[in-house]
A and B are shown apart, each in its own frame.
Chain A
Amino acid sequence: MARSTSKDAQDLFRALWSAYSATPTNLKIIDLYVMYAVFTALIQVVYMALVGSFPFNSFLSGVLSCVGTAVLAVCLRIQVNKENKEFKDLAPERAFADFVLCNLVLHLVIMNFLG
């Protein structure tokens, strides 16, 4: 039974992978960006777990910048995705402009909180 389970898992993984390959490139770039941000956040959490949370504000600002920018990227993905009927009328350039501006505001706040 284990063999079939692992084979099922492999098949599932392959199917997911091939379905994912069909997504347009710009969406893949955004996904890559989100992954990058999340990994950065995880490494910061591990570091904090090791050395303690002494400058807690710095930790928070670091983690929240990663999480915030990931969230904004996800919003951009939603708006840019052509299959999403809700944002059919919204030009992707407009969504990208929003993404840039929101990131800039987020990072201003983060920089202030960094200390």
Chain B
Amino acid sequence: MAFVRAPSPFLLVLVLALSIFAAITATTTIPQPISDHHRSAALNLFAPSHGSFPSLQDAYEALRVFEILGIEEKHRVSTDTCKVVLENLSSLSSSLKDLFYALKVNGILKCKVNGEVFEGIASRLKASISDASPLPDLYYSIGGLVLIKDQDSNVDVLLADATGTFQSIKAQSQSDGKWRYSSDKTESSAYAAGLAFEALAGVISLASSEIDQSKVNTVKHDILKLFDSIEKNDDGSFYFDGETVGGHEHQDSLSTTSSVVRGVTAFAAAVSGEINLPGDKTLGLAKFLLGIGVPGDAKDFFNQVESLAFLESKRQVPIQVNLLFKFVLQQYFFSFCFLFFSANVTLDLSCCRVTIPLILSLPETVYSLTTKGQLKVRVSTALGSAAPPLVVKLVRAFSSGAKDSSIIESKELQYDKRSGLHVLDGFTNNVDVGTYVFVFEIVLHDTHSKQVYATGGQIHMPIYVTGIIAVSNAEIGVLGDLGSVQTKKALDLAGNDVVSFSANHLQKLRFSFQLATPHGHVFKPHQAILKFRHEIKVEHVFVIGNVGKKFEITLDFLGLVEKLFYLSGKYDIELTVGDAAMENSFIRLLGHVKLDLPEAPEKAAQPPAPPVDPYSRYGPKTEITHLFRTPEKRPPQNLSITFLGLILLPFLGFLIGLLRLGVNLKNFPSSTVPAAFAMLFQLSIAAVLLLYVLFWLKLDLFTTLKTLGFLGAFLMFSGHRILSYLASTSTKLKSA
């Protein structure tokens, strides 16, 4: 049962004016809401290894993500995880953090836990709350008690001295809205502020008697002060900067922002009255969170998805809109809650913890004039759930080159129930090829929605319209000295025909054609280039300028002679017309021109070397033949053989001389033993000589010397025997 006094027209105008003011400076990015990409990434990231999670915190994060995204995975892991939960809850040595996360997991999985276990934990948690506890411990204890309260209503969890606890947490707040971790620390952080807000919300819900409203209001002030220090990006997204506080691990911007979102939304749910966060800040937070895309890290994924879920969540508490309170905070523009500052309204419908951001996204941003599609716009919450009844208005559309003149103004998009998209038919009739900026605005149907949702005013979206450009009236010709046309040919650029003619340096070449958009307007493409390529692969590029629809280029060869490096011969002419918005960009060989240029003077620049194939450097290099030393010149083989023969001649002469002298072997001993020794002597000499030959051919010195030792000994022995025998024989003969 809600009654609302309609806001006055003046207020609407004021709001519109503010919205235009705000939106003009915003640059556009298109945040996409959570989609099935996220769901499949979640299944990959949070898959438990061997059916169980590494820790209770990881188990909680995975289960919470599955719960928010609606993924039915938890029954697979529930038995193992429940066992771990029960172990932790029953154990007396579990830390506060473990108890906290065990209770969180139990809240999702609903394992069967005894009431006595809860009672034991509750009394432990209550005992650990003291004035001197650091903030993380208070956070876990109070959070645990709140979870027990939700899971088992029979357990007594109410705090005896809630006001005192509230006070001790509040005492750590700083003037800029940040919080210290404990009284003996000096550094403050926004992350700690998020923990504090959540803890304070818990204290409020666990208080046996109501906490003083003024204390609650000071915390609301703290929240707003904290939001004063929020960082802003150019695209309108807001975030809290990452920070490192001594003694605690570094928190990056995502975890700090999500801690603050968690704390603020928890606090907003616990208290009556509004926090009055401006809608553009919640929208900015949603844009920041969505701008991350699909995170690759499990912790980042959990932070992103849970923060978006908290931004969307509603509470079931009737709220009293306080006129005066809002009026004070009018300086924060752009929450639609301001429409109600002329009325004192009581709503008992569920409302927002903070204003829920609505995301406008475009499934496609490139539209083709040839296919003539509809303009499609999607409006949803950040998590991808349905938006309330609303109308999307196209405020204006203008070409990105001409910001002042609008092409389309004030159109309303139709809502297509089947696809869930807002569509605009026939917009392609009004737009031509090019880039445009479309300015959208979301208008909610009922005033209650306007209080609940943040729409972000005017949203600028880039739209690209492509089309087929008509290329016509192509003509190429050679002009004489005074401009007289000497040859002229028309070309059909759609076909494949080529032209061929010749020219000398006194003539000019003229080429012209026309381009028109599907609607018949002038089109200036990004590239309109004529390229001349010589036989030796030297290229020259000329840009074709335009007057209106006609593109024309005149090449005066007399002036270009130096640029062309005085190279005469056959040139290929190639035309390139291209643009991102042109669906039929082309490169086409127009034809050939045989140029007759004068001789190059001595000091003319040489044409550049033909481009080396860049892949040729990966090929094999030339073989290197290295000559270590030129071999000496050897004599011809015949000469060497001749001299070999000649060397043998003195030997023959020696033998013949011996024969002539009448050598005989009469002195050779006849009796056996001396004969044997004589033979051995001769043989051993022969053996030594053979050893020398082997030494020369094959052996090394050491083996030779070893063998020579043996043979030498043998030789000496036999030689001595035979020679002494011969000596004794000759002395006998002499004496006889």
Contacts and interface: CB of A to CB of B under 8 A. Distances in A.
A28 B661 contact: yes
A36 B650 contact: yes
Interface string B647-675: 10111011001100111000000000000
Interface of B is mostly: helix
Contacts of A81: none
B628 interface: no
Contacts of B723: 93-94, 96-97
B719 interface: yes
A32 B654 contact: yes
Contacts of B663: 25, 29
B646 A43 contact: yes
Contacts, number: 80
Interface in A38-83: 39-40, 43-44, 47, 50-52, 54
B683 interface: no
Contacts of A28: 661
B685 A100 contact: yes
A47 B643 contact: yes
A9 interface: no
Contacts of B643: 43, 47
B727 interface: yes
Contacts of A52: 632-633, 635
Given A32-B661, A36-B654, A43-B643, A50 B635 contact: yes
A104 interface: yes
A87 interface: no
A51 to B, nearest CB: 4
A13 interface: no
Contacts of B726: 93
B635 A43 contact: no
A50 B701 CA distance: 32
Given A100-B685, A108-B708, A43 B650 contact: yes
A32 B658 contact: yes
A94 B651 CA distance: 26
Contact of B632 (A50, A54, A96, A112): A54
A52 B662 CA distance: 41
Nearest to B724: A93
B635 A40 contact: no
Interface string A91-115: 1011011001100100110011010
B695 interface: yes
B interface bracket (residues with beta carbon within 8 Å of A) = 35 or more
Contacts of A112: 695, 701
Contacts of A104: 685, 688, 712, 715
B250 to A, nearest CB: 79
B541 interface: no
Nearest to B729: A93
A54 B634 contact: yes
Nearest to A110: B692
A36 to B, nearest CB: 4
A97 B651 CA distance: 23
B639 interface: yes
Given A29-B661, A32-B658, A36-B654, A51 B635 contact: yes
A53 B643 CA distance: 15
Given A100-B685, A111-B692, A91 B727 contact: yes
Interface string B523-566: 00000000000000000000000000000000000000000000
B635 A44 contact: no
A interface bracket (residues with beta carbon within 8 Å of B) = 20 to 34
Nearest to B635: A51
A103 to B, nearest CB: 9
B657 A32 contact: yes
Contacts of B696: 111, 114
Contacts of B730: 93
Contacts of A108: 692, 695, 704, 708
B687 to A, nearest CB: 11
Nearest to B657: A32
Contacts of B692: 107-108, 111
A17 B212 CA distance: 157
B635 to A, nearest CB: 4
B689 interface: yes
B705 to A, nearest CB: 8
Nearest to B694: A111
Contacts of B640: 51
A104 B695 CA distance: 13
B639 to A, nearest CB: 7
A113 to B, nearest CB: 10
Given A107-B692, A111-B692, A100 B634 contact: no
A40 B685 contact: no
B159 to A, nearest CB: 108
A29 to B, nearest CB: 6
Nearest to A54: B632
Contacts of A43: 643, 646-647, 649-650
A43 B724 CA distance: 38
Contacts of A111: 692-693, 695-696
B735 to A, nearest CB: 14
Contacts of B724: 93
A101 B724 CA distance: 16
Contacts of B635: 50-52
B184 to A, nearest CB: 93
Contacts of A97: 719-720, 723
B508 to A, nearest CB: 76
- Most B Cβ at <10 Å: residue of A25, A35, A43, A104: A104
Contacts of B662: 25
Nearest to B662: A25
A92 to B, nearest CB: 8
15 contacts: A25-B661, A32-B658, A35-B653, A36-B651, A39-B653, A43-B650, A51-B634, A51-B635, A91-B727, A97-B720, A100-B685, A104-B685, A104-B715, A108-B692, A108-B708
Given A35-B650, A39-B649, A112-B695, 10 more contacts: A25-B661, A39-B650, A43-B646, A43-B650, A44-B647, A51-B640, A54-B632, A104-B712, A108-B695, A108-B708
Interface of A: 25, 28-29, 32-33, 35-37, 39-40, 43-44, 47, 50-52, 54, 91, 93-94, 96-97, 100-101, 104, 107-108, 111-112, 114
Interface of B: 632-635, 639-640, 643, 646-647, 649-651, 653-654, 657-658, 661-663, 685, 688-689, 692-693, 695-696, 701, 704, 708, 712, 715-716, 719-720, 723-724, 726-727, 730
Rank and list the top 5 A-B pairs by shortest CB-CB distance, nearest first.
A51-B635, A36-B654, A39-B650, A93-B723, A54-B632
